[in-house]
Amino acid sequence: MQKFLCAGAAIAMGLAATTVSANATVRLKLADALAADHPTSIILEQFAEEVEEKTDGEVKIRLYMNGVLGSEREVLEQIQNGAVDFSRVSAANLENFNPVYQAFTLPYLFADQEHFYKVMDGPIVDPVYEASLDSGFMGLTYFDSGARSFYTKSQCVETPEDLEGQKLRVINSHTSIRMVELMGGIPTPLPYGEIYTALQQGVIDGAENNPTALTLGRHGEVVKCYSLDEHLRIPDFLVISETAMDRLTDEQMAVIKEAAVNATQAQKEAWNAAVDEAMQQINEMGVEVVNPEKAPFQEKVAPLIEEYKKNPAIGDLVDAIQQAQ
Question: Is the per-residue pLDDT at 128 higher than 70?
Answer: yes
In a domain, 300, yes or no: yes
Q: Which pTM was predicted?
A: 0.86
Question: Is the per-residue pLDDT at 1 higher than 60?
Answer: no
Of the pLDDT bands very low, low, confident and very high (cuts 50, 70, 90), residue 173 is confident
Q: What percent of the chain has pLDDT over 70?
A: 93
In a domain, 128, yes or no: yes
Q: In sequence order, what E strands does the chain have? A: 26-31, 59-64, 86-90, 137-143, 148-152, 167-170, 186-189, 206-209, 225-232, 236-241, 288-290
pLDDT at 236: 97
Domain total of the chain: 2
Angle at 299 (CA atoms; ends 160, 95), nearest 5 degrees: 90
Domain range for 293 is 148-233+280-323
In a domain, 79, yes or no: yes
> Are residue 210 and residue 284 in the same domain, yes or no?
yes
pLDDT at 96: 83
* Nearest Cα residue to 66 out of 195, 235, 190, 192: 192
Specify whether the CB–CB gap between 76 and 32 falls below 8 A: no
Question: Is the per-residue pLDDT at 218 higher than 90?
Answer: yes
Give the C-alpha distances (Å, rounded to integers) separating 102 from 96, 168, 238, 308, 321: 8, 20, 17, 9, 13
> Are residue 71 and residue 210 in the same domain, yes or no?
no
The DSSP letter of residue 22 is H
In a domain, 69, yes or no: yes
> Are residue 204 and residue 60 in the same domain, yes or no?
no
CATH number reported for the structural domain that contains residue 99 in this entry: 3.40.190.170
pLDDT tens per residue, range 7-20: 444 444 444 443 33
Question: Is the per-residue pLDDT at 5 higher than 50?
Answer: no
Specify whether the CB–CB gap between 107 and 185 falls below 8 A: no
> Are residue 251 and residue 120 in the same domain, yes or no?
yes
pLDDT tens per residue, range 174-190: 899 999 999 999 999 99
pLDDT tens per residue, range 280-310: 999 999 999 999 999 999 999 999 999 999 9
Kindly state the average pLDDT of the residues 125-134: 94
Give the C-alpha distances (Å, rounded to integers) separating 143 from 46, 161, 289: 14, 32, 25
> Are residue 63 and residue 156 in the same domain, yes or no?
no
> Are residue 115 and residue 133 in the same domain, yes or no?
yes
Within 10 Å of residue 254's Cβ, how many Cβ atoms? 13
pLDDT at 191: 87
- 3-state SS class at 182: helix
Question: Is the per-residue pLDDT at 3 higher than 70?
Answer: no
In a domain, 191, yes or no: yes
In a domain, 163, yes or no: yes
pLDDT tens per residue, range 196-207: 999 999 999 999
Q: List, in sequence order, the alpha helices (H) in 130-187.
A: 174-183
| Interatomic CA distance for residues 48 and 30, integer angstroms | 9
pLDDT tens per residue, range 99-119: 999 999 999 999 999 999 999
> Are residue 257 and residue 245 in the same domain, yes or no?
yes
pLDDT at 23: 64
Residues 6+ apart with CB under 8 A from 282: 211, 214, 215, 220, 226, 289
